[in-house]
Structure 1
């Protein structure tokens, strides 16, 4: 894998805590939910989360932040150890902490404490910024970016700077390559304190697209930056560089905990700009990565991310989290599998039918190496990454996971679906998965399959050239 450009992250570290349980009744003495069987967890928050996410991408990350001697600072310092190179500036007061009380994945209440702010910058911090190949400023309004403003202004003239702003912080420094406000933040920075008639930040392109474009245009003028990307939640992001804005839609709607999605977006964009990508390409990847981040469980998974380069682990975790949520509410999980090389009408009909069987559909896809072993050296025609992207675009598909073995038994053992769906061109005797599903009470089902459709036939027809007569052949199993 090509080495990735190092990144310097500047911003305010926070400590995030979650108390997660189940809310199944109200308290007898007040109409408030009772959180039972609580589980407690903690993770780096704010700019510390952005730094960890950038490091998880396989980058060398230097994190410049303010920490003190309080308990929260010590906890964050320990969490960051062996993940990033930490450059500290003094903190006055206690580090800010956010504690969320969660009923499953729904927040009930948030408690904020800690009023610490960054003091003056240190020579080491200024030196880290001055030599940065690229900088991500994750400003959470606690003074770190302000303390290093002069150094950041000087560096913006020579290296890409991405600025994720906060209403309590200052504006991006002049020459910033990309600013990434959320829709509500862009509205406030642009001088519109309230939403206009019919605007809804949570549904930007549907009702607030014009307002987001106007805000981005205004911010480009106010801030003297090269580009502004207004993030629109599950609807993607709007990029404005002058002229006509460019909408980067999300690949699909990801249900889950969106805490940290903005940091995931900014970290990806900054990293790809550091690697020399065009802003449009960096933003498209940032939208896709943020969407996947939410689907995979959000910030709660940051301390258990896979090693750099492990491309299958995060999607697998996301599918496992989806299965857990569906089973927790008594739903039925359906899985289907195959190579899905050259997706065709037969595949689509099968997947749509499979989704109607239950409450979610997880698609298990053979890796490129697995397809080659099954189909021969000329296959796959379409790489696994592109096959996954096409499958994820289908409304009937809730998650996609790639497996490298010849058959999906190992993956099925991890997911434990209730139903394993295959096309009707199989016989139950051909499916070794049947016994595995039965071991946990699952069921294999055969679904109707459009006769005569197959990737193999499409490949053969394409190889004979246009106008060639279809060759009679038995039905192929994908």
Structure 2
């Protein structure tokens, strides 16, 4: 499936998409917490850095742009410094500001998140949730009417900040219908009848539960919630994102597809919904099937949640995520190349597994060890002792097979994604360069005695011990050969 999706993404025709909704400026204040205030029982955040990024409909637009599409944004900002930040960020992503409506009676919505140890400790919002005036609503509609020409489709990003009133939404849907443009909605609130006329709505599990009053605990309640959403919203398709449980796609005629989650590590879910709807829209509006587009959106979300704050996933990252990592070419690599390979995998939210050995005369025990090691992550890198290293460890008569032969034999296994030779007696230096998430050792070792354990665990990784297969060893093979064929 990933190879098919890779082909779709690589050949995708970039669409032009109109994004309408609540514009937000996301601020992230990052630091460390090591003490409690003497003034009150409150933690003290020692600030180390601060960053701003587009949020809400602006984040959706940035995601469209990052994936190769052309985004046009319509929404409201205040007459303040935060609006200036928004315009600067939009320019960075190649998104024009001609669709922005300035309303001096309200502030630009700003969400400030305080983080320590990659955990959100506090969020402070500056916003107005009052419905925009009739004059501002008319300006928004005028922008939509002007910019919709030449677009392939429309995204409505509703964050419940007062911009998308039911009355304005009805007018926007009417404009889209007359222009022949499909609309995909990221909804908010309890009244989904306001989205009648949309092609697809993409609530998360919590939003879907709140909208229909059904707690989603199993397949039956999930289906009940989806049917209720169809009855209320009168849409053609419903995509419910379910966090660690993946996402479920429903069609009005009873079609349903469940797509498992792909993320291995989740650092921050803020912005995940923006990534999902942007990815879904980019590929639906470029002519892809809804199911394929949903699977691609699922892959995009797995990349986004591995970053702090709303993160715009690029087309290149998505291609790298979908590209099979077990292709046979180029598996034998230098230590430097292996380090870069490992770093690239980690940026794609893929767990890197490392193991090592001599692998002199490959046998079933080796194969089973490597197969099991691969199950602990997405990519397995194998360190192999050089000929000189083995001679120092096992004597002058070893190895039986040279390092080049051993490397290529191990690289030919489907379970192996990278092979690296190391000349030292232990793989410690190699482990320090590769920085794997999981360190695997075969045998009766205690985890504390495994070389490189401290390096891996310091980064939040772990050690796995795999028992050896009885009766399978290189020395045993050599003895059998000598017994049968020795003079």
Normalization by structure 1: what TM-score?
0.65
Counterpart of 1:132 (choices 139, 148, 151) is 151
Structure 1 residue 171 displacement after superposition: 4.5
Q: Match of 1:456? A: none
Structure 1 residue 80 displacement after superposition: 0.9
Counterpart of 2:208 (choices 175, 179, 186) is 186
Q: Does 1:27 align with 2:37?
A: yes
The 1:12/1:318 distance shift into structure 2, 3 A limit, reads farther
Mapped to 1, the partners of 2:300 and 2:381 lie a distance apart of 20
Mapped to 2, the partners of 1:269 and 1:418 lie a distance apart of 31
Q: Match of 2:196? A: 174
Q: Match of 2:392? A: none
The 1:115/1:27 distance shift into structure 2, 3 A limit, reads same
Alignment check: 8 A CA contact 1:350 1:448 kept: no
Structure 1 residue 316 displacement after superposition: 4.4
Q: Please provide the CA RMSD for this pair.
A: 4.6
Provide Cα deviations, 1:366-395, integer angstroms capped at 9, x if missing partner. 9xxxxxxx979xx9999xxxx9xxx9xxxx
Counterpart of 1:150 (choices 163, 168, 171) is 171
- Unaligned 5+ segments in structure 1 are 327-332, 338-343, 356-360, 367-373, 392-401, 425-433, 438-443, 454-478
The one of the two structures with greater contact order (alpha-carbon pairs below 8 A, sep at least 6) is 2
Counterpart of 1:258 (choices 269, 290, 309) is 269
Alignment check: 8 A CA contact 1:165 1:172 kept: no
Counterpart of 1:112 (choices 114, 125, 137) is 125
Counterpart of 1:77 (choices 62, 76, 87) is 87
The 1:421/1:177 distance shift into structure 2, 3 A limit, reads same
Provide Cα deviations, 1:124-183, integer angstroms capped at 9, x if missing partner. 431222432111111112344444642433424723321001118875543321101112
Q: Does 1:348 align with 2:375?
A: no
Counterpart of 2:282 (choices 258, 271, 274) is 271
Q: Match of 2:362? A: none
Q: 3-state SS of the aligned residue for 1:101?
A: strand
The 1:445/1:223 distance shift into structure 2, 3 A limit, reads closer
The 1:128/1:24 distance shift into structure 2, 3 A limit, reads same
Counterpart of 1:236 (choices 246, 249, 252) is 246
Structure 1 residue 40 displacement after superposition: 1.4
Provide Cα deviations, 1:302-361, integer angstroms capped at 9, x if missing partner. 4x96868873799946726989xx9xxxxxx96359xxxxxx855322335xx5xxxxx6
Counterpart of 2:102 (choices 86, 91, 100) is 91
Q: 3-state SS of the aligned residue for 2:72?
A: strand
Mapped to 2, the partners of 1:407 and 1:262 lie a distance apart of 43
Q: Match of 1:293? A: 304
Greater alpha carbon shift after TM alignment, 415-424 vs 74-83: 415-424
Q: Match of 1:280? A: 291
The 1:412/1:11 distance shift into structure 2, 3 A limit, reads farther
Q: 3-state SS of the aligned residue for 1:51?
A: helix
Q: Does 1:159 align with 2:172?
A: no
Q: 3-state SS of the aligned residue for 2:76?
A: strand
Q: Match of 1:363? A: 379
Structure 1 residue 251 displacement after superposition: 2.9
- Corresponding residue pairs, total: 382
Mapped to 2, the partners of 1:251 and 1:319 lie a distance apart of 14
The 1:244/1:125 distance shift into structure 2, 3 A limit, reads closer
Normalization by structure 2: what TM-score?
0.64
Alignment check: 8 A CA contact 1:265 1:286 kept: yes
Bigger Rg, which one: 2
The 1:306/1:254 distance shift into structure 2, 3 A limit, reads same
Q: Match of 2:387? A: none
The 1:135/1:335 distance shift into structure 2, 3 A limit, reads farther
Structure 1 residue 300 displacement after superposition: 5.1
Q: 3-state SS of the aligned residue for 2:40?
A: coil
Structure 1 residue 208 displacement after superposition: 4.5
Counterpart of 2:346 (choices 310, 316, 319) is 319
The 1:151/1:33 distance shift into structure 2, 3 A limit, reads same
Q: 3-state SS of the aligned residue for 2:148?
A: helix
The 1:106/1:208 distance shift into structure 2, 3 A limit, reads farther
The 1:265/1:244 distance shift into structure 2, 3 A limit, reads same
Greater alpha carbon shift after TM alignment, 162-171 vs 88-97: 162-171
Q: Does 1:41 align with 2:51?
A: yes
Mapped to 1, the partners of 2:31 and 2:276 lie a distance apart of 28
Alignment check: 8 A CA contact 1:58 1:309 kept: no
